Amino acid sequence: MLHFMRNVLALMLLGLLLSGCGTIRTHRTVLQPMGTELTASVGSSLFRLNKQRDLPNMWGGRDIYGGKVRKGFAEVKLIGISEGEKVQVSVFDMNSDNTETTLDRYIFSPGQQNVDVTQNVNLGDESSDQGITVTIDPEVEADFVVSGVKITFHEVGPNSVVYTLEDLTPPATD
């Protein structure tokens, strides 16, 4: 029995060490459903993508408790439909990096965070709180891709669009 318990304990410790050495992964969550027809009116969000990565531990592996760190977001909003059924959208694609680790979150300051955060915008020449305005002619270009999410326009009305979403980025694997 003692020999069995030692083996179980050794296997548990080995599993804990190996799980703490997993590589850091990025995670993407699109808030709207994929592959189904959706309708959006002027002023609505066509999609929002939240970006995260695994919280790193002090050895550079991922947090064994599953902690995540925000990495930014991407969002496309329908801002208008012009003559000729051209779709005008506002595109946001924000990336942020921070220095938080498991030591920051669980050991040194579990009640408060003190980490460095930087942000940048991927689209356009200058950063903007309003996003970048893009005009799409669905007759010429039915698909529009932002941050790995493909928007396909099926119908364009005077004040709304019918569209589907497809995530072109493969899911994270262990």
DSSP state string for the chain: -HHHHHHHHHHHHHHHHHHTTPPP-EEEEESSPSSS-EEEETTSEEEEEEEEEEPB-TTSSB-TT--EEEEEEEEEEEEEEETTTEEEEEEEEEEEEE---HIIIIII-TT-----EEEEESSSSS--SS-EEEEE-TTT--EEEETTEEEEEEEE-SSEEEEEEEE-SPPP--
pLDDT for position 152: 96
So what's the pLDDT on residue 111?
57
Q: Whole-model pTM above 0.85?
A: no
What confidence tens digit (pLDDT) does each residue in 32-48 have? 999 999 999 999 999 99
pLDDT at 165: 97
Residue ranges in the chain whose pLDDT is less than 70: 2-5, 7-21, 108-130, 172-174
Output the pLDDT for position 127: 47
pLDDT for res 144: 95
Q: Please tell me the predicted confidence (pLDDT) of residue 37.
A: 97
